[in-house]
């Protein structure tokens, strides 16, 4: 099982151009505050995409899939809420559609991506607020 402490390492291994930013993050926070690191990773991927430098995106998609299929429950949630939702949020605030990243994902990750889309478009069932 992939543990919390290994989650970002899987992503950095797939996208070595993020390594310097990851080292800066580790110096500042240790191997902690991973949701902030996931946001920075999403922004890095957007920069790479906009520069036409997508050669590592298949490996990144494979790494995200591994987090979903081989991770602890915390890592699986992080893969969805930290990484996928980070990509969707960061990319949606640019001229680049987040859907451009979707083809790089494996089947489990694509399923979670679609689930996030349904949630944010209000298609997913919500729990009624108690009042």
Report the percent of the chain where pLDDT is more than 90.
87
What's the pLDDT band for 64 if we cut at 50, 70, 90?
A: very high
Say if residue 78's pLDDT is above 50: yes
What's the pLDDT band for 122 if we cut at 50, 70, 90?
A: confident
- Cα 56 off chain centre by: 14
Q: How confident is the model over 79-103, as a mean pLDDT?
A: 96
pLDDT at 120: 83
**Residue 27 burial class via C-beta count within 10 angstroms: exposed 0-12, middle 13-18, buried 19 and up:** exposed
Helices (H) and strands (E) in the chain, counts: 7, 0
Q: How confident is the model over 81-110, as a mean pLDDT?
A: 97
Q: What is the mean pLDDT of the chain?
A: 93
- Gyration radius from the chain CA atoms: 15
Q: How confident is the model over 70-75, as a mean pLDDT?
A: 98
What's the number of CA atoms in the CB half-sphere (13 Å) around residue 22?
Answer: 20
What's the pLDDT band for 126 if we cut at 50, 70, 90?
A: low
Q: How confident is the model over 80-109, as a mean pLDDT?
A: 97
| Structure token digits, residue 71 | 């991770």
pTM, two decimal places: 0.90
């Amino acid at each position: 099982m992939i543990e919390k402490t290994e989650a970002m390492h899987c992503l950095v291994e797939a996208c070595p151009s993020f390594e310097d930013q990851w080292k800066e993050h580790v110096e500042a926070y240790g191997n902690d505050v991973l949701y902030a690191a996931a946001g920075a990773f999403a922004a890095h991927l957007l920069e790479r995409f906009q520069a036409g430098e997508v050669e590592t995106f298949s490996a990144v998609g494979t790494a995200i899939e591994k987090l979903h299929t081989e991770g602890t429950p915390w890592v699986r949630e992080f893969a969805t809420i930290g990484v996928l939702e980070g990509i969707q949020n960061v990319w949606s605030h640019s001229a680049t559609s987040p859907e451009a990243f979707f083809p790089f994902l494996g089947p489990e990750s694509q399923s979670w991506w679609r689930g996030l889309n349904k949630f944010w478009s209000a298609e997913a069932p919500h729990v009624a607020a108690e009042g």
